[in-house]
A and B are shown apart, each in its own frame.
Chain A
């Protein structure tokens, strides 16, 4: 029996990617919106199905693994699929209004390839399919960065492409070593036989270095700010909100399914130190940027650091605290996806109003374009981690977990990082409150642009109220630490 909604998650965007290449710009747009509706419906159906029957697997076309492709839906995959559906739909709406017709025509195929890659990564339970998904994702993302076709974005795209390719090869090398040792690529089978030996540590080392490079974890981050900051606004939002999450998702999957929480603590500690460095460095750099979109891009670097902090807290000695950290990490990921997409879209609107990239040019916008500042601020609340927001709940859970395990250093890093993020967000605000002579000389973005930015920011706040609904989808802690 075919689980129709599950196959739909891959089939619909793939259809969009392939068919849109053959259509004219007008039909591409029409078909894309029809498919977005279909995918949203599809996700809702899947959610209902998940509530009634829990997690399930499906071998595509009745070809069983290892040659066939097996898809799997569990709580984590479902949450990420819902997240990408919400963010991608709103970004698509924004792109439809924001992009010029020639850009929009190229945008759709890349957008759909991006989405099919994301969904196949969320649903894969096989190391090699994850590799194919990662590679497709990188190629689509690089294409999107190069969409504006000027020298600056081309350089960013090339830098991004080389980093992404190097990361993929590192991952694939690790997969090759694991296959040679265990003779399987399925995560489920691997988790049954896995033990931490020298060869499997080397393999995991290669995979993690590759994946962290694609996630832009400090110190392998230098490709991210120019790529995310320099791309067209809806593309920046997609990249920061969704694309970096995909490689992180694989790290998280490997870590929990291969029970690396029982590994020597030094591995977790190293991840935590990298994360702390990212939080402080990203926050510090964001504070010193003069271009609005670079502030937002460096803020992404810092936020990636928070996700990394959960690894030292996932331990098998204290399942309760470990589960809190896991939940906190997932909430942070979701809140960041919504808030950062909202923030990039709001930043894009602000840049549209002034026509300049410089922070100084924002002076006067608080008086004349309050709605956009409001959208930027609401997203900022979640990024800073002020209550009530998804970002606050996530941070709170992580801090609780750290206190339960008396790992006070992470609490300190989180507090310092929050101060830094408050500083760089209020710095942007302080520019907008400056008074200017000459009245309203700003352009007015269309309402659809303003409302799509605002809706994402509002969702990131609402996540603070609906956190339990989301976390209930995750397995209870006895399963997580197995």
Chain B
């Protein structure tokens, strides 16, 4: 097994944790972190899987992942702004349907 495949498997593991966290957690910040894990996992798969078996470094997935990271940071920033505003308006860190009867 090449070392690149280890990255890919690591990525699959991260994705698994991310999906799990996304479903399990209702706290908005935790969901956002789960999404970030999912994103990082995908980037690892993208770089690791496409390098394996080629021998030399492939520059295209690296360029893609750089772009992907920028996009993910932008999305995270927007989500943080919305979550802060939501928390300030309603004093809740979860969406109404996740708050349960109280």
Contacts and interface: CB of A to CB of B under 8 A. Distances in A.
Interface of A: 66-67, 128, 131-132, 135-136, 138-139, 142-143, 146, 149-151, 154-155, 157-159, 161-162, 165-166, 169, 172-173, 175-177, 179-180, 183, 185
A180 B50 contact: yes
Contacts of B86: 151, 154-155, 158
A159 B50 contact: no
Question: Interface residue tally of chain B, by bracket?
Answer: 20 to 34
B95 A155 contact: yes
Interface in B2-57: 15, 22, 28, 31, 35, 38-39, 42, 45-46, 49-50, 52
Interface of B: 15, 22, 28, 31, 35, 38-39, 42, 45-46, 49-50, 52, 59-61, 63-64, 67-68, 71, 74-75, 78-79, 82-83, 85-86, 89-90, 95-96
Main secondary structure of the interface of B (DSSP, over half): helix
Nearest to A139: B78
Contact of B15 (A66, A165, A173): A173
A155 B35 contact: no
Nearest to A151: B89
Q: Which 7 A-B pairs have the closest CB atoms?
A: A176-B46, A180-B49, A180-B50, A135-B71, A154-B86, A151-B89, A176-B45
A166 B21 CA distance: 12
Contact of A142 (B50, B52, B82, B95): B82
B102 to A, nearest CB: 16
B78 A161 contact: yes
A220 B60 CA distance: 33
Contacts of A146: 82, 85
A313 B50 CA distance: 35
A149 B49 CA distance: 43
Contact of B42 (A66, A159, A173, A185): A173
Nearest to B60: A66
A166 B35 contact: yes
